[in-house]
Structure 1
């Protein structure tokens, strides 16, 4: 029966007062267990509304998805409407997060770092002298999870282009991105390291750099590397900006036929405030045509 008179007013009032959960369009999530960990990973996936091209969509694998997935999805959705002007083209976004509603989880310390000596830990800046670090040193296990468990699942369920894959991480995630580039450069075609925490494994990175040129020559496609920092991070006691700049300076000397490397410092931005600007720059870099 169609409501009339006061019934219509009551119906409209009830609809206006009803609150419903909101979700980002064209996104899904699922839990994926790893053989190396007891807790599962929370995987979030955003897909374009367009029909997939013959080779499939580019795919961006995102670390710290609890904190960054929504930002990237909305940036893609808004900027992708005018790709010819923004340089942001349709892609699938795969966020790797944790089963929590918090933006960050202590598991990231284990997943994003190589084994770290007590001597190095004593040099890391902390908020108080009694600080106790979470478990560290699981980067190899995490890399194996991405390659052997996550990627096959994504390739099975979504139309992706295996020759257009990117890895994006910030802070400790940026460190993991650089370690992956140095040890397994063939895993992705684009790498984005935002404010990388090079000071955690600086000596190890320098050792891995020695073998990188020979690994790079074995790669069949050109690799893109974007390194960014925020201007205000220059005062951080870790030397984050100088470490990132030195890394870029060394890598910019490598073959430009095999490696396209870009460095950018965001004016007036700090370690956290830099994230929205970094996301936009990352999308344009990864999806450039």
Structure 2
């Protein structure tokens, strides 16, 4: 569909911008939750074992950024180290980058007492649906993607930031084998700290031999945040780095805050994943 507009005194035909290799569709889960699913398929031929895959939470906000970072850099994998990768963004039927439904999907319980009153408005949103969302990934979305695309079952990663980072940790601690690589950016550990600590303890006691890769990143300026976000992330990484069979890396990005950290984090994340996938 073309429409005419007047730019610089000339009539020009305009169309919507389209990112090559991408498409989107909607899915309604067994729990009647509706999701916008965005998919990028590399233009290269799939390896015999299938493509690696990166699932991206808050897809409305991050899907196109992650896709472009991979699409551009994987053209010269020999130079960049980034391999062609399928990207699946999981978002919502909204034009907003961050939909309020994320508070339900990414949290394991209502916010705890230690969460600042600054978040009172957000605490009014429904919470505690992380296990339902995890079931959606495991039983509905992943099988659909794997039916339709050639995917390497041993090269699968998940990326989340903020509350999405909290969910990534929940998935790591409770369904470790669902992915091989976990990226938790600026995780909101403070939101469900007591419950997450219990899950972490169980994970450490029962998954000490699990081969898994974990990247935890946060911005230097998040050290000033009242939630202790940077300190919580740093201390968690230190504990996980004691695991013998896990590859755990932690990065504090200089002069970055809770939002600006996403761009360098994405670039670090796709190289971190590719390092795993080339082994």
CA distance in 1, matches of 2:22, 2:92: 16
> 2:96 is matched with which residue?
102
The higher radius of gyration belongs to 1
| Number of aligned positions between the proteins | 269
Unaligned stretches of 5+ in structure 2? 1-9
Cα RMSD for the two superposed structures = 1.9
Q: Aligned-pair distance for 1:31?
A: 0.3
2:10 maps to 1:23: no
2:220 maps to 1:231: yes
> 1:147 is matched with which residue?
138
Correspondence for 1:75 among 58, 62, 69: 69
CA distance in 2, matches of 1:76, 1:128: 34
CA distance in 2, matches of 1:67, 1:235: 24
> 1:36 is matched with which residue?
31
Q: Aligned-pair distance for 1:132?
A: 5.0
CA distance in 2, matches of 1:131, 1:263: 28
Q: Aligned-pair distance for 1:129?
A: 6.1
**TM-score (norm: length of structure 2):** 0.92
Correspondence for 2:43 among 46, 49, 62: 49
Q: Aligned-pair distance for 1:213?
A: 2.9
Structure in which a larger fraction of residues adopt strand: 2
Unaligned stretches of 5+ in structure 1? 1-14
Using the TM superposition, name which of 202-211 and 102-111 deviates more.
202-211
Q: Aligned-pair distance for 1:58?
A: 0.3
Match runs of 1:189-200 below 5 Å: 189-200=180-191
CA distance in 1, matches of 2:212, 2:178: 10
| Structure 1 contact 231–269 (Cα < 8 Å) conserved | yes
CA distance in 2, matches of 1:124, 1:75: 34
Correspondence for 1:166 among 149, 157, 165: 157
Q: Aligned-pair distance for 1:128?
A: 7.4
CA distance in 1, matches of 2:157, 2:206: 18
